Amino acid sequence: MIKPVAIIAGEPNSISSEIIFKAWQQRKKYSHKPFFVIGSVKLLNLQKKKLNYKLAIKEVKKKFYANDLMGKELPVLNINYFQKKPFENISNKSNRYIFECFNSAVNLINEKKINGIINCPISKESLLTNKHKGITEFLAKKSKVLGNEVMLIYNKKFAVSPITTHIPIREIIGELNKNKIVKKISIINKFYKDNFKLYPKFGVLGLNPHNFSYLKSEEKNIIYPAIKMLKRMKIKVIGPVAPDTAFTFFKKKKIDIAIGMYHDQILSPYKTIYGYDAINITLGLPYIRVSPDHGVAEDIVGKNIANPTSLIKSIQFFNSLK
């Protein structure tokens, strides 16, 4: 049996259920491995009724078989969650449910029952992260690889990765160091080599506007030494490149992956170019974790206008892995 992919339902009061329903209804239009949802059957049925979707949902057991994932009914591994209304305000009340969904998925990974996980959007603002900066760090800690996690925003044509992720701007400089840059680029390089037989070309952005050369600039003391080390490791890399012209320069140089120093430096231009046609992959875990490259879209929850493209791309991505 081909191992299925588990889709974690994510924030219960978001567009997650809507894009799951749309991806399921369109499944015959794209190639994919078997998949099922980890979430609340009761809540999904409430939301299905609210959104007026004519699809059947069936509960599957933890010891599921191939036949359980076939047919016209959307298969769901049930996680109990009680909510009277189909969509409520996003709050931290759902955190326990979200973490239970993730724990269930990790258990299935450890039991070698699934090929990987896709998690639907989660509200970072309301997620209880007093122990973890986010779900990525939570999963890395559970797998005892905290510090190795890498965010890769991926499209087959071009991908980007930030060295630091969801942290305040004032903390970025303190989180940057040569070894972190070298480790993250090495992990991405190995992923491309192992899965796509490709030795990618990396372009690394500077941190300061125009790479302005202060006496003790991050470009001189951190980024350039990291690039020198990567070149000694035979990894194809150029930089640091001035951030304001980086994407134009990378296009001319046919760069495969752009590396930014912080989240919005690299994600803002990328999302402008690719929109929904990209996915978020977490590397550095002992399994592949993917998520749509967008948020919970609180402003359109329950309106039935959400775009499922990024979730469908996430499902399709597993076909490309060896």
For the record, the structure tokens of 303 come out as 């309106």
Do 14 and 79 lie in a common domain? Answer: yes
Closest CA to 154 of 51, 301, 290: 290
Note whether 295 and 173 are same-domain residues.
no
Indicate which CATH number applies to the domain containing 191: 3.40.718.10
Are both 226 and 295 inside the same structural domain?
no
- The pLDDT, as a whole number, for residue 183 is 97
Q: Which domain holds residue 295?
A: 1-147+286-322
Domain count, the chain: 2
Q: d(Cα 225, Cα 301) in Å, to the nearest integer?
A: 46
Same domain, 123 and 236: no
Q: What is the pTM of this model?
A: 0.89
Structure tokens at 133: 């900066």
Do 279 and 292 reside in the same domain of the chain?
no
Q: Say yes or no: 222 and 101 in one domain.
A: no
Task: Report the range of poorest mean pLDDT among 27-36, 195-204, 209-218.
Answer: 209-218
Above pLDDT 70, what percent of the chain? Answer: 96
218 and 115 in a common domain: no
Q: Which residue has the tokens 């036949």?
A: 67
The reply to whether 118 and 64 lie within a common domain is: yes
Judge if 141 and 175 occupy the same domain.
Answer: no
Same domain, 273 and 290: no
Residue 206 scores a pLDDT above 60: yes
Residues 37 and 109 in one domain: yes
- Please confirm whether the linkage preceding 225 is cis (ω < 30° from 0): no
Q: What is the pLDDT of residues 244-285, one digit of tens each?
A: 999 999 999 999 999 999 999 999 999 899 888 889 999 999
